[in-house]
């Protein structure tokens, strides 16, 4: 396999992953970003903890999807992440929250 073939394969895999993300994002309530992964989840429990003067984050996700090109099973029932790095949790808008007003945009 040439370097170009490998690059094309990786590009195709990333495109497939993006398409899967686009198809499933509406099934989830939260986007969670850690230093190593990107998740979609329906339940997030984030706890800041400390041990020996160091602060770390203990993150538990339920009913999740993992953004990972090399992972064959991206839907997971439960995920636990422990990290000393930043964690970002964002609530996704519901589809009905994005609907246009019934009167339309103009008058």
pLDDT digits (tens, 9 = 90+) for 76-97: 999 999 999 999 999 999 866 5
What percent of the chain is predicted at pLDDT more than 70? 88
The answer on pLDDT for 41 being more than 80 is yes
What percent of the chain is predicted at pLDDT more than 90? 73
Mean pLDDT of the chain: 90
Nearest residue to 30 via CA among 6, 54, 2, 62 = 62
Q: What was the pLDDT predicted at 94?
A: 81
What are the backbone dihedrals phi and psi of residue 15, each rounded to the nearest 5 degrees, phi first?
Answer: -65, -45
What pTM does this model have?
Answer: 0.79
């Amino acid at each position: 396999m040439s370097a170009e073939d490998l690059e094309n394969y990786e590009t195709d895999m990333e495109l497939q992953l993006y398409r899967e993300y686009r198809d499933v994002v509406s099934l989830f309530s939260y986007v969670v970003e850690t230093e190593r992964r990107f998740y979609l989840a329906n339940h997030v429990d984030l706890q800041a903890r400390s041990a020996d003067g160091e602060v770390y984050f203990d993150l538990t996700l339920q009913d999740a999807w993992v953004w990972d090109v090399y992972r064959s099973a991206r839907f997971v029932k439960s995920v636990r992440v422990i990290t000393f790095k930043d964690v970002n949790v964002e609530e996704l808008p519901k589809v009905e929250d994005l609907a246009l007003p019934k009167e339309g945009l103009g008058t």
